């Protein structure tokens, strides 16, 4: 949480919003789907990505552990339960979003 109208936090919030807008825009243009369909994956990817300001992913900071994702399940062989095609499609989308996040962070 941050105080309203505080210059130190306004920039942080604006940068986060800008990053999320960039990710949404690129997903919509590349995938050709609505922003509503992109939003859950973007949120997931953002919350589980390393943030240099806190030295870890925000999920890890909040819950004290790393998120056990379907990507981990895929690596451990549980993909049969989830359906290999769903896992592959989601994995490809998440990797694409992660690449866009890295590109966005490098422009900062």
Angle, vertex CA 18, rays to CA 17 and CA 24, nearest 5: 90
| Residues facing residue 51 across a β-bridge | 56
Domain locations in the chain as residue ranges: 9-106
pLDDT band at 102 (very low <50, low <70, confident <90, very high): confident
What pLDDT does 74 receive?
47
List pLDDT tens digits, range 46-74. 888 888 888 888 888 888 888 876 655 44
- How far is residue 42's CA from residue 71's CA, in Å, rounded to a whole number? 15
List pLDDT tens digits, range 3-38. 666 656 677 788 888 888 988 888 888 888 888 888
Confirm whether pTM is higher than 0.85.
no
């Amino acid at each position: 949480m941050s105080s309203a109208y505080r210059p130190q936090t306004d920039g942080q919030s604006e940068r986060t919003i800008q990053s999320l807008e960039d990710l949404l825009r690129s997903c919509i243009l590349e995938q050709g789907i609505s922003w509503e369909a992109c939003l859950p994956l973007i949120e997931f990817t953002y919350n589980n990505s390393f943030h240099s300001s806190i030295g870890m992913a925000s999920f890890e900071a909040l819950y004290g552990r790393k998120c056990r994702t379907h990507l981990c399940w895929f690596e451990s062989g549980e993909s049969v339960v989830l359906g290999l095609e769903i896992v592959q499609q989601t994995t490809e989308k998440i990797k694409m979003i992660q690449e866009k996040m890295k590109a966005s962070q490098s422009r900062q």
